[in-house]
């Protein structure tokens, strides 16, 4: 039974390594002379199991290969070590982390306010700002404020918001249609590429 669990654990570690799973290396792991164990279960640079060897034998094999000896499972009994280029692994890991950070984007909800009697210049200024926000991957809350007797003609706000949405259609879609909320009419636009990705899931 013990042999079964040991073989199963090794098989999992081997699969992780063969499929780029060196990211599974524990933060508690040591390399080369830092490794304290007297014997280890060794995996060579090609992912083949060598078996249980003394730490001296493992280090010698790593040195002969011009590579490092790295603990990939320090809590195993005995610890599992792999012969690998640790410097290359660390470089590729840092590169992957940087790429992931670049892809991560905080989506914000930006707000723009319009007036029913907005002139063409102000409308275009607000429109350009909305396009900028949408192109950066942010959602946009477009709000029309009604003052005084304007509340008697809320359809004007609806027409204005529809005009605004139409002007943004190349990069944005209406996520929440215009809806009256007190003396405000609110519409939310979302980046078109994000909306398409959500539909494709």
Q: Residue 10 — very low, low, confident or very high, per pLDDT cuts 50/70/90?
A: very low
The verdict on domain 21-90 having CATH code 3.90.1150.10 is no
Is domain 109-200 given the CATH code 3.40.190.10 in the classification?
no
Proportion of the chain above pLDDT 90, given as a percent: 56
- The pLDDT of residue 180 is 93
Q: What is the pLDDT of residues 56-74, one digit of tens each?
A: 999 999 999 999 999 988 8
What average pLDDT does this structure show over 19-24?
45
Q: Domain boundaries in the chain?
A: 21-90, 109-200
Buried b (16+ CB within 10 A) or exposed e, 149-183: ebeeebeebbebbeebbebbeeebbbbeebeeeee
């Amino acid at each position: 039974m013990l042999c079964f669990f040991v073989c199963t654990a090794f098989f999992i570690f081997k699969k992780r390594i063969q499929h780029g799973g060196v990211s599974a290396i524990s933060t508690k792991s040591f390399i080369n002379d830092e490794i304290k164990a007297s014997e280890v279960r060794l995996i060579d640079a090609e992912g083949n199991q060598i078996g249980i060897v003394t730490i001296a034998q493992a280090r010698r094999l790593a040195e002969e290969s011009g590579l490092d000896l790295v603990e990939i499972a320090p809590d195993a009994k005995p610890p599992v070590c792999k012969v690998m280029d640790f410097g290359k692994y660390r470089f590729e890991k840092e590169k992957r982390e940087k790429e992931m950070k670049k892809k991560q984007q905080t989506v914000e909800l930006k707000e723009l306010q319009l007036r029913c009697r907005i002139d063409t210049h102000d409308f275009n200024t607000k429109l350009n700002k909305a396009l900028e926000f949408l192109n950066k991957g942010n959602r946009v809350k477009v709000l029309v404020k009604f003052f005084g007797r304007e509340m008697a003609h809320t359809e004007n706000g609806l027409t204005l918001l529809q005009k605004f949405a139409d002007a943004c259609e190349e990069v944005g879609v209406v996520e929440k249609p215009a809806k009256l909320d007190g003396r405000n009419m609110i519409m939310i636009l979302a980046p078109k590429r994000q909306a398409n990705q959500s539909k494709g899931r």
